[in-house]
Amino acid sequence: MDDGAIYGRGISFPPRLGVDGRWAWSVGAQNIREAIQIILLTIPGERLLLTAFGGRLKQYLFEPNTVATRRQMQEEIVRSLKQWEPRVSLDNITVDGDPTDARVAVITINYRLVASQAMDQISMKFQFGI
Protein backbone atom coordinates (compact mmCIF):
# COMPACT_ATOMS: atom_id res chain seq x y z
CA MET A 1 0.00 0.00 0.00
CA ASP A 2 1.08 3.58 -0.66
CA ASP A 3 2.71 5.29 2.37
CA GLY A 4 1.07 8.54 1.29
CA ALA A 5 -2.36 6.93 1.53
CA ILE A 6 -1.62 5.66 5.05
CA TYR A 7 0.39 8.49 6.61
CA GLY A 8 -0.35 11.43 4.36
CA ARG A 9 1.62 13.76 2.15
CA GLY A 10 2.29 17.46 2.00
CA ILE A 11 4.69 20.11 0.80
CA SER A 12 8.12 19.35 2.22
CA PHE A 13 9.45 21.22 5.22
CA PRO A 14 11.27 23.41 4.88
CA PRO A 15 9.52 24.26 1.59
CA ARG A 16 11.79 23.75 -1.40
CA LEU A 17 11.66 23.09 -5.11
CA GLY A 18 12.28 19.65 -6.55
CA VAL A 19 14.55 18.85 -9.48
CA ASP A 20 11.58 19.36 -11.80
CA GLY A 21 11.08 22.96 -10.58
CA ARG A 22 7.86 22.14 -8.73
CA TRP A 23 7.28 22.08 -5.00
CA ALA A 24 8.94 19.08 -3.37
CA TRP A 25 6.58 16.83 -1.42
CA SER A 26 7.14 14.68 1.64
CA VAL A 27 5.31 11.40 1.90
CA GLY A 28 4.68 8.84 4.60
CA ALA A 29 6.84 8.70 7.72
CA GLN A 30 8.94 11.63 6.47
CA ASN A 31 5.78 13.74 6.29
CA ILE A 32 5.07 12.93 9.94
CA ARG A 33 8.63 13.85 11.03
CA GLU A 34 8.26 17.17 9.23
CA ALA A 35 4.82 17.75 10.78
CA ILE A 36 6.29 17.25 14.26
CA GLN A 37 8.91 19.90 13.54
CA ILE A 38 6.26 22.28 12.20
CA ILE A 39 4.12 21.83 15.31
CA LEU A 40 7.01 22.45 17.69
CA LEU A 41 8.44 25.42 15.78
CA THR A 42 5.14 27.23 15.19
CA ILE A 43 4.17 29.83 17.76
CA PRO A 44 0.46 29.78 18.63
CA GLY A 45 -1.10 32.77 16.90
CA GLU A 46 1.22 32.55 13.90
CA ARG A 47 -1.36 30.81 11.71
CA LEU A 48 -4.16 33.24 11.00
CA LEU A 49 -6.93 30.71 10.47
CA LEU A 50 -5.79 28.29 13.17
CA THR A 51 -4.51 30.54 15.93
CA ALA A 52 -4.22 27.82 18.61
CA PHE A 53 -1.95 25.66 16.42
CA GLY A 54 1.62 25.08 17.48
CA GLY A 55 3.86 24.41 20.40
CA ARG A 56 5.07 26.92 22.91
CA LEU A 57 8.75 26.02 22.84
CA LYS A 58 9.86 29.48 21.81
CA GLN A 59 8.48 30.87 25.08
CA TYR A 60 11.50 29.21 26.72
CA LEU A 61 14.01 31.06 24.57
CA PHE A 62 15.19 33.38 27.36
CA GLU A 63 14.70 30.96 30.26
CA PRO A 64 17.67 29.36 32.00
CA ASN A 65 18.75 25.95 30.71
CA THR A 66 17.87 24.12 33.91
CA VAL A 67 16.30 20.78 34.73
CA ALA A 68 13.06 22.58 35.68
CA THR A 69 12.89 24.47 32.37
CA ARG A 70 13.63 21.35 30.36
CA ARG A 71 10.89 19.48 32.26
CA GLN A 72 8.39 22.22 31.38
CA MET A 73 9.50 21.99 27.75
CA GLN A 74 8.97 18.23 27.82
CA GLU A 75 5.42 18.69 29.14
CA GLU A 76 4.71 21.27 26.43
CA ILE A 77 5.97 18.91 23.72
CA VAL A 78 3.70 16.12 24.99
CA ARG A 79 0.70 18.49 25.11
CA SER A 80 1.32 19.91 21.65
CA LEU A 81 1.89 16.59 19.92
CA LYS A 82 -1.09 14.93 21.57
CA GLN A 83 -3.27 17.81 20.44
CA TRP A 84 -1.98 18.32 16.89
CA GLU A 85 -0.46 15.05 15.63
CA PRO A 86 -2.94 12.15 15.85
CA ARG A 87 -0.84 9.94 13.55
CA VAL A 88 1.65 9.21 16.34
CA SER A 89 1.58 7.58 19.75
CA LEU A 90 4.27 8.99 22.03
CA ASP A 91 6.59 6.49 23.71
CA ASN A 92 9.24 8.67 25.33
CA ILE A 93 10.29 12.30 25.20
CA THR A 94 13.51 13.58 26.72
CA VAL A 95 14.85 17.10 26.92
CA ASP A 96 18.44 16.98 28.13
CA GLY A 97 21.20 19.50 28.43
CA ASP A 98 23.92 19.33 25.78
CA PRO A 99 27.22 18.44 27.49
CA THR A 100 29.16 20.42 24.87
CA ASP A 101 27.11 23.65 24.99
CA ALA A 102 25.40 25.03 28.09
CA ARG A 103 23.01 27.09 25.92
CA VAL A 104 21.53 24.03 24.14
CA ALA A 105 18.92 21.43 25.07
CA VAL A 106 18.62 18.24 23.04
CA ILE A 107 15.04 17.12 22.43
CA THR A 108 14.51 13.43 21.56
CA ILE A 109 11.04 12.17 20.72
CA ASN A 110 10.41 8.42 20.41
CA TYR A 111 7.05 7.56 18.95
CA ARG A 112 5.05 4.92 17.08
CA LEU A 113 3.15 5.45 13.89
CA VAL A 114 -0.47 4.69 14.75
CA ALA A 115 -1.29 3.10 11.40
CA SER A 116 1.53 0.53 11.47
CA GLN A 117 2.98 0.62 15.00
CA ALA A 118 6.40 1.20 13.42
CA MET A 119 8.78 2.94 15.82
CA ASP A 120 10.52 6.19 14.87
CA GLN A 121 12.54 8.91 16.50
CA ILE A 122 13.25 12.56 15.88
CA SER A 123 15.92 14.65 17.59
CA MET A 124 16.38 18.38 17.49
CA LYS A 125 18.39 20.98 19.33
CA PHE A 126 16.91 23.99 21.08
CA GLN A 127 19.23 26.91 21.68
CA PHE A 128 18.42 29.20 24.57
CA GLY A 129 18.95 32.94 24.12
CA ILE A 130 21.63 34.88 25.88
Q: What is the DSSP string of 40-108?
A: HHSPTTSSTT-TT-S--GGGGTTS---HHHHHHHHHHHHHHHHHH-TTEEEEEEEEEEETTEEEEEEEE
Question: Domain residues for 88?
Answer: 3-127
- Read off the pTM: 0.84
- For the stretch 54-75, pLDDT in tens is 999 999 999 999 999 999 999 9
Q: How many domains does the chain have?
A: 1
Asked if the model's pLDDT at residue 3 lies above 60, the reply is no
The whole-number pLDDT of residue 11 equals: 74
Asked if the model's pLDDT at residue 4 lies above 60, the reply is no
- For the stretch 8-31, pLDDT in tens is 667 777 777 888 888 888 877 888
Domain CATH number, residue 85: 3.10.450.40
